[in-house]
Amino acid sequence: MAEVGFVGLGVMGSGVARRLLEAGHTLTVWNRTREKAEPLLDAGAHWAETARDVAERSDIVFTMVTNTAAVKAVTEGADGILAGLAPGKVYVDMSTASPANTRALAEQVAAIGAQMLDAPVSGSVITLEEGKLSIMVGGEPGAFERVKPLLEAIGPRVFHLGPNGTAVTMKIAINLSLAVQMLAFSEGVLLAEKSGIARERAVEVMLASVIASPMLAYRGPFVLEHPEEAWFDCRMMQKDMNLALELGREVEVPLPTTAVTNEFLTAANAIGVGEKDFAALFDVLASMSGVKTEVVA
């Protein structure tokens, strides 16, 4: 069993941290707001006063935060993770952030004598709870082998892709398809609905058809009723779409459907549903189609 630290206890981060705790590891946690840590503390985790304290008390420290800026916020400075790392430790960033920043951060970690892995996940709260997450990993093979048992406690499908930055690149390549699929699904539902087919029936039939995917299976029903707490909100998704577009320009891959879908996310933010799950793409398109929803009347 390892001394494990975890920084970033959002919806997914809390779930991932809990699986590590349930696997029997000693867990030390920190989050900007302590209240999000309380369920884990009640289950036996230990509280740290800073991200640096987490790193100092852990052999392997994980982060799962919002974006590149948030990664920098928890790693840099006197109270950051870098200040608490030491030779022999491993830092695992599960955030979806800039590949360039990931590579630069890995160099900083290596200069300390520690090792870094980027290890974003593919899946949702449901796949996490079911133990079906996929995890992509970038970094040195030795560090990967050391951390692999912990990753397998989080999700059974763990893929080592190459050096630092490759895993987060793969995550961006996957995530752009989530939003594009959701928009295409929304087009189909609304086309059926405005032609006289009940929305509920259209969703049922479409999710039983060849277009069904694991993502649509759990997010498709959100066009009928949004979850109380967004699993992956529009602003977070747009962050990933912008990362994809930036990377596309860098490697000269045109991303036309990503660009169009990104504009619908801009519209979602503009009409006040940016904090809703990105299934709100349906609500944006519905509004443009003259169809009322629970979110946009």
- Residue 210 half-sphere exposure, CB side, CA atoms within 13 Å? 0
CA distance to 201, 278, 294, per residue, from 284 (Å): 20, 10, 12
d(CA 290, CA 62): 45
Query: For the chain, what's the residue count?
Result: 297
At residue 49, φ and ψ (nearest 5 deg) are -80, -20
Q: Which is catalytic among the residues 171, 194, 239, 292?
A: 171
d(CA 168, CA 122): 11
Within 194-233, residue ranges assigned H as helices are 199-206, 214-219
d(CA 120, CA 182): 21
Most distant CA atoms of the chain, gap in Å: 65
Helix/strand/coil percent split, the chain, to 5:
55, 15, 30
d(CA 277, CA 144): 32
Burial 70-95 (b: 16+ CB within 10 A, else e): bbbbbbeeeebbbbbbeeebbbbbbb
- Which distant-in-sequence residues (6+ apart) come within 8 Å of 216 by Cβ? 181, 182, 185, 206, 207
Within 207-290, residue ranges assigned H as helices are 214-219, 234-251, 256-270, 281-288
Does the active-site annotation cover 148?
A: no
Query: Hey, which residues are catalytic here?
Result: 171
